[in-house]
Amino acid sequence: MRIRWLGWAGVELEEQGERVVVDPLKESAAVFAWMGERARAIQAPDVVPARPGAIAGLLTHLHRDHADAPALSTALRTGATVYEPVDYGGEGAERLAVLQADHELTRAGLARQPAAAWSGARVGAFTLTALPAVDGTGDPQVSWLVEAGGKRVLHLGDTIWHGWWWRIRERYGPPDVVLAPINGARLTFPHREPGSPLPGVMDPEQAALATALLRADRLVPIHYGAYDLPGVYEPVDHALERLAAATDRATPMELGETIVV
């Protein structure tokens, strides 16, 4: 399987000439647009577009930096399905963080399929399995296990630390590659107050430990190096250096780079 990093949490996976995309991002500056003028000071991540013609899109959750309708519309072939977590329901502040992406995905006319944790689908050369994950502010989230050509790639979205690592490994075997968030951001959003001092995304040491518990061969760091907004979204400093100190399994990728597993 070929893995291409699209920037932030976006990846493109290819096997036998077929491709699926996970959390592609095109309009990275739109993520904090709801903050108006203050958003202009935020450094958005550099991203590259996925190639057109993907046979499926996978979303770990419906926050705008992971669920970008323009990116999916560009990447997916006509009629391809977007798989996403099952909605928790609720009203008002409960759904505030997912409304933008949900509206844009609907407006784009994309075919969407809710996927519960532990459920799977076969699409072309790929077996796609939604696995448990926990969002830092309580919104619906899954991780995605993508299997093809005898290889397993696990995309963790921006989950916080949880206790399903052993069960995932026991049920599906060790992944060949884990794509893990490492920016350990502290979150203080207006719709989730008071804020928590604990990481709302896994930090480098937690990503390294998750990789070890999964017995994965390789850790590719994602979800770092951008979106630093004091008092709202505060990632850790020196994430890559901390990761290198925590594990010898880390393989950082350059933007647009492809590796083969």
CA dihedral 178, 183, 186, 192 (to 10 degrees): -50
Cα-based torsion angle of the residue sequence 172, 13, 70, 221 in order, rounded to the nearest 10 degrees: 70
Closest CA to 169 of 210, 204, 126: 210
**Distance between CA 13 and CA 144 in Å, rounded?**
12
Report the C-alpha gap between 202 and 216 in whole angstroms: 17
Instruction: Give the total number of structural domains in the chain.
Output: 1
CATH number of the domain enclosing 102: 3.60.15.10
Average pLDDT over residues 32-49: 81
Report the pLDDT value the prediction gives residue 29, as an integer from 0 to 100.
Answer: 80
Helix ranges, 79-198 (H): 96-107, 165-172
Residue 136: helix, strand or coil by DSSP? coil
Q: How confident is the model at residue 32 (pLDDT cuts 50, 70, 90)?
A: confident
CA distance 259 to 261: 7
pLDDT recorded at residue 36:
73
Task: Report the pLDDT value the prediction gives residue 30, as an integer from 0 to 100.
Answer: 80
Q: Where does the pLDDT of residue 46 fall: very low under 50, low under 70, confident under 90, or very high at 90 and above?
A: very high
Distance CA 145, CA 168 (A): 10
Q: How far is CA 242 from CA 71, 95, 101, 237, 238, in A?
A: 31, 34, 32, 9, 6
- Mean pLDDT, range 65-94, rounded to an integer: 96
Which residue range forms the structural domain that includes residue 244?
2-260
Which residues, 6+ apart, have CB-to-CB distance to 40 below 8 Å?
A: none
* pLDDT confidence bin for 144, thresholds 50/70/90: very high
Model confidence band, residue 12 (pLDDT cutoffs 50, 70, 90) = very high
pLDDT on residue 190? 85
